[in-house]
Amino acid sequence: MAGQVRPITLVGTPVLHAPCRHVEDFDAALAELVDDMFASMYEADGVGLAANQISVDLRVFVFDCPDADGTRHRGAVVNPVLELPALEDRRLDDGDEGCLSVPGPHARLARPDHAAVQGFDVGGKPVRVEGTGLLARCLQHETDHLEGRLYIDRLSARARKKVLKEYEAARAEAEESLASGGQ
């Protein structure tokens, strides 16, 4: 796989908490960014990654995950617009959700079990991705990132506090382990 692995941006970093800029140039730099995003996502064992998760303020995300039927979907969407079923047609999936930018903890988060995004591929051609199951969750999660929202922003105050406490504890433990030489 081409592409350079870039560090994952962590919760609290300003680029994660503000809406991203629209992509205007569908050029070699965008293709290189998408390659880097795939490499970074795979290195981190993720199923989706938004550009701001590697500190790039652009509306693009990549994904590689199965739908509710187990069919694997892989791609990139530039300038995505999320489409959800009408309220009367929505069924919620209250599965666990996590995030590479909040490594470690997961939390239950109800999201519609069907979603679609319209946008463009890396070459600037219109694209539509529709998904169920994990793919639907991924499309919503990554689009949220591009709006400056993390999944923890959708949790109750109590659940958000619990996730952040677990994240901080795991981070402190990792730093302590590094400081003691990995023992």
Phi, psi for residue 73 in degrees, rounded to 5: -125, 135
Is 73 annotated as a binding-site member? no
CB-based contact 64:47 (threshold 8 Å): yes
Is 65 annotated as a binding-site member? no
CB-based contact 155:107 (threshold 8 Å): yes
Radius of gyration of the chain (CA): 17
CA angle at residue 21 from 37 to 156, to 5 degrees? 80
142 is a catalytic site residue: yes
Q: Name the CA dihedral angle for 81, 82, 85, 86, rounded to a multiple of 10 degrees.
A: -70
Catalytic residue selected from 88, 142, 147, 168: 142
Is 138 annotated as a binding-site member? no
Q: Annotated active-site positions, please?
A: 142
Please report, in range form, the residues annotated as the binding site for Fe cation: 99, 141, 145
